[in-house]
Amino acid sequence: MSGFFLTYISSNLLLYILGKIMTETSANDSFLDDIGLIAPLYDLDFLAFPREDINFYKSLGEIYGPNILELGIGTGQIGLSLAETGANVTGVDISPEMLEITANNAQKNGTKIELVCQDMLDLKLDSNFGLVCAPMGTIQHCQTIEEVVRMFSTIEQYLAPDGIAVIDADSPNPDDFSPPPLPPIQHWSQFTHLGSENLPSKVTKTVVIEPEPATSTKHVTWHYDIATIGNNDNQVHGAGLLSRVTVEFSLLTITRNEMELAARLANLEIIDTFGDYDLNEYGEGVRLITLLRKTSK
């Protein structure tokens, strides 16, 4: 397999990308403010690197469902997969553009799901859930440990008495505590069909990470370079239209001990931690997957 993938983005989403973003750079302090800029391109990541966590959440859903809350649902890959099993899924995200993609995919597949556009730190819901999950580094968009405690307090509020919460974060590694700069990484290149004429474009994603050890954060820049292609042979011909979408954000580096302290302050306790989705011991993988429950009274 060449590592290039074909998918389709509608003409409306192309207009959103090329009309609003063609020469625009987002340099906001928070990724969440401008996540809509990359919503149409977000799922290309998971074509390049297929998700390994969906079956993990399905297994938990079989035990702790049917009522499931996903924080940071994004384009709905996990939430829709759970809903397709018959679970009652509520998905929360701060980005209306992400939720629009989820809603469109749900409608296309006839999948029932409840979507809520709110900040997970100030969530207002009417239900409790047997399973609350924050997948794929959602918690790392908290900028301080105080915000982590607020997030855990939200989880505690909506977690059923016999339910569990699952928090998936990057496991800290030495680069997180090294002074910048780190070299840019070309993450992937893919071909995707764009626009009403359905002509391919080549999209290349480059990632730049600048650790800030003093604050336990890493500043991340995603560049998406979009080159139009003249025909359907997946080769760039001549001087086609070139655009760049750039989004900057910061991720909090969280250790297991910090996770445990934040949980205690929110009346939660850690059941177990794992290093990957095969449930190997923490320290043997690149993830910090934490299972929590309400503190025993």
Dump pLDDT digits (tens) for 123-182: 999 999 999 999 999 999 999 999 999 999 999 999 999 999 999 999 998 888 887 778
Decide if pLDDT at 194 tops 70: no
Lowest-confidence pick of 172-176, 203-207, 248-252: 172-176
**pLDDT by residue (tens digit) across 74-132?**
999 999 999 999 999 999 999 999 999 999 999 999 999 999 999 999 999 999 999 99
Q: Where are the alpha helices (DSSP H) in 34-177?
A: 44-48, 54-64, 77-83, 96-109, 145-158
Decide if 66 contacts 73 (C-beta within 8 A): no
- How far apart CA 206 and CA 69 sit, in angstroms, is 32
Residue ranges of domains in the chain, CATH in brackets: 8-47+175-252 (no CATH), 51-172+254-294 (3.40.50.150)
Measured from the Cβ of residue 270, the count of other Cβ atoms closer than 10 Å reads 15
Residue 6 pLDDT more than 90? no
pLDDT band of residue 265 (cuts 50, 70, 90) is: very high
Q: Comparing 92 with 2, which gets the higher pLDDT?
A: 92
Q: What is the mean predicted confidence (pLDDT) over 243-252?
A: 91
Predicted TM-score of the model (pTM):
0.84
Fill in the amino acid letter for 140.
Q
Whether residue 280 is predicted with pLDDT greater than 90 in this model: the reply is yes
What pLDDT shows up at residue 245? Answer: 87
Question: What's the rounded Cα separation, in Å, for the pair 228 and 138?
Answer: 32
Q: What is the mean pLDDT of residues 196-209?
A: 81
Phi, psi of 69 (to 5 degrees): -115, 125
- pLDDT tops 90 at residue 195: no
Q: State the pLDDT at residue 75.
A: 94
Q: What pLDDT digit, counting tens, does each position of 26-66 carry?
A: 333 445 556 777 888 888 888 878 889 999 999 999 999 99
Of the candidates 81, 156, 147, the residue with the CA atom closest to the CA atom of residue 119: 147
Rounded to an integer, the average pLDDT of 251-277 is 97
- Taking the chain, what is the end-to-end CA distance rounded to the nearest angstrom? 54
